[in-house]
Amino acid sequence: MQVVGGSASPRLAAALAEHLRARLVRAETKRFPDDECYVRVHDDLTGAKVVLVQTTWPDRNLIELLLLQDAVRSFKVESLTTVVPYFGYARQDKQFLPGEPVSARAIARLIEAQSDAFLTVDVHAESILDWFEKKRATSVSASADLARHLRQFSVDFVLSPDEGRIAQAAEIATALGVPSDFLVKERLGSEAVSIVPKRLEVEGKTAVIADDIISTGGTIAAAAAELKRHGARRVLAACTHGIFVKNALERLSAVCDMIISTDTVENPTSVVSVAPSLAKHCR
């Protein structure tokens, strides 16, 4: 087995190669003056089982992935497993108006065309996997990896920002042996909204707010501020995919004691690697 890492996922590719005891292949990516992408795989992959690792956000990383797939296939490999740690466009999984694309479906079909198997991490909607017609598509949970890191912080409970994302918070909480809950919005007036835990008392406690994706950080920041107002001693924000657009990190840092994300999207808060969980599905 040999691992090829795209420019969006170098750390994760290296960690995955180490866990698999596989060779990390030399791959080159650069941009021409007109911003078109150039890739080259420097090592001979003929006959190999190849694992290609590349997050597909933002758009330019998707183009790089498709070119890397083509480059890998030029060696007549035995198989190609495409690992997309963060699947871009996963939140566009429905058509709301006539004439709109189902973007997640379109991306899935492009990636599958050159893949023998597909892995992603905490995909936003499990239904996306059904669009991989070969049906060798798996979403790997990052909950165990996040829980392993969170054990050092004496967490009292894990919260989901809403009822719809409670599954991940519950998985992390179960691994830590603590309760889980979800946050609810309570309208206090014409404009004021309080975001509070549904059942748990937070005073003097350490709380983790866990979500699959943090993008603008608005909901998490509001929830953290409310938990602090209700007496929480520490509030940690944890997510699988740290997108952190615009001033999200600044906004979160103002109210959270710590921000934790995985290496599906490599950034300064990526202190948790999903390589252990991915490796179990690559063998």
Cα(110)–Cα(101) distance, integer angstroms = 14
Predicted confidence (pLDDT) per residue in 40-89, tens digit = 999 999 999 999 999 999 999 999 999 999 999 999 999 999 999 999 99
Token digits of residue 165: 């994302």
* Strands (E) located in the chain: 2-5, 23-25, 27-31, 37-41, 49-53, 79-84, 117-121, 137-140, 157-160, 180-187, 193-197, 206-214, 234-242, 258-262, 270-272
Q: What is the mean pLDDT of residues 93-106?
A: 94
Q: Comparing 104 with 196, which gets the higher pLDDT?
A: 104
Q: What is the pLDDT of residue 219?
A: 87
Taking residues 200-227, report their average pLDDT.
Answer: 91
Q: Mean pLDDT over residues 170-177, rounded?
A: 97
Residue 196's pLDDT band (cuts 50, 70, 90): low
DSSP 3-state assignment of 16?
helix
7: Cβ contacts below 8 Å, ≥ 6 apart = 29, 54, 61, 64
- Give this prediction's pTM: 0.92
Fold of 143-263: Rossmann fold (3.40.50)
Alpha-carbon distance of 45 to 67, in angstroms, equals 15
189 pLDDT band (50/70/90 cuts)?
Answer: very low
Every domain of the chain with CATH number 3.40.50.2020 lies at 2-141+274-282, 143-263
Task: Enumerate the active-site residues.
Answer: 185
Mean pLDDT of the chain: 92
2-141+274-282 belongs to which CATH class? alpha beta
Per-residue pLDDT averaged across 255-281, rounded?
97
Residue 186's pLDDT is 57
Q: How many residues does the chain have?
A: 283
